[in-house]
């Protein structure tokens, strides 16, 4: 399997985005939400580079079976924090069809946060099925299935420290 993004590159990406978020939310107390399970390693790396006071929370949704998006989203774990009036930063692993980002925007907007900001380590814009744009993207990639650093195929490979292009052999 071929490395697409090395761990070193992910750390650099996290430093850059962390610095931008720290500037944007200076004087605020944002909630930095990890979209489980795929974003867990990126969220953990990213928060190390946010230099302002913040809190973390976790949400779990699912739209994938194997390598295909079902287009339907299920909320498996909700936030613990009441986000009314809060600045909310949602951290995703990858934006693919856009289903997850789109559904999270709709659902979380109903709770009247002060702001919603989406961060994604990866973006596959060529796969979009609906309107979805992350505010901060680590890297834009082609239509490839990727694994590692949180990204899975049927729950495997999340433990790899780099992101790889998945091939069957
Ligand atoms: P979307 O809702 O179709 O945008 O997909 C979002 C979710 O699909 C991501 O949070 C991932 O968990 C999963 N996903 C999309 N593309 C890939 C991939 O290439 N590898 C592993 N998981 C993926």
Q: Is the CB of 148 under 6 A from ligand 1?
A: no
* Ligand 1 closest atom vs CA 73: 2
Q: Rounded to the nearest whole angstrom, what is the distance from the C-alpha of residue 27 to the centroid of ligand 1?
A: 33
One DSSP character per residue, the chain reads -EEEE-HHHHHHHHHHHHHHHHHHTTTS--EEEEEETTTHHHHHHHHHT--S--EEEEEEEEEEETTEEEEEEEEEE--SS--TT-EEEEEEEEESSSHHHHHHHHHHHTT--SEEEEEEEEE-GGG-SS----SEEEEE--S--EEBTTB-BTTBSTT-SSEEE----
89-134: pLDDT as tens digits: 999 999 999 989 999 999 999 999 999 999 999 999 999 988 899 9
- Give me the pLDDT at residue 73, please: 72
> 19 lies in which domain range?
2-165
Q: Is the CB of 150 under 6 A from ligand 1?
A: no
Residue 169 has pLDDT above 90, yes or no: no
User: What is the CATH classification number for the domain harbouring 25?
Assistant: 3.40.50.2020
Q: Is the CB of 30 under 6 A from ligand 1?
A: no
C-alpha span between 127 and 120 (Å, rounded): 15
39-64: pLDDT as tens digits: 999 999 999 999 999 999 999 997 65
C-alpha span between 43 and 58 (Å, rounded): 10
Which pTM does this prediction carry?
0.94
Nearest CA to ligand 1 atom 12: 38
C-alpha span between 140 and 62 (Å, rounded): 22
Q: What is the domain count for the chain? A: 1
């Amino acid at each position: 399997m071929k490395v697409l993004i090395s761990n070193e590159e992910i750390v650099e990406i996290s430093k850059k985005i962390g610095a931008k978020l720290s500037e944007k939310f200076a004087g605020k107390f944002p909630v930095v939400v990890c979209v489980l399970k795929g974003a867990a390693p990126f969220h953990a790396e990213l928060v190390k580079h946010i230099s302002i006071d913040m809190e973390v929370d976790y949400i779990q949704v699912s739209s994938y079976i194997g390598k295909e998006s079902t287009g339907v989203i299920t909320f498996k774990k909700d936030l613990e924090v009441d986000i009314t009036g809060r600045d909310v930063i949602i951290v995703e692993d990858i934006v693919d069809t856009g289903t997850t980002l789109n559904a999270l925007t709709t659902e979380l907007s109903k709770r009247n946060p002060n702001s919603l900001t989406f961060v994604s380590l990866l973006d596959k814009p060529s796969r979009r099925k609906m309107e979805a744009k992350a505010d901060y993207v680590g890297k834009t990639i082609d239509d490839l299935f990727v694994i590692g650093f949180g990204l899975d195929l049927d729950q495997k490979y999340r433990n790899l420290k780099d992101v790889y292009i998945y091939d069957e052999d």
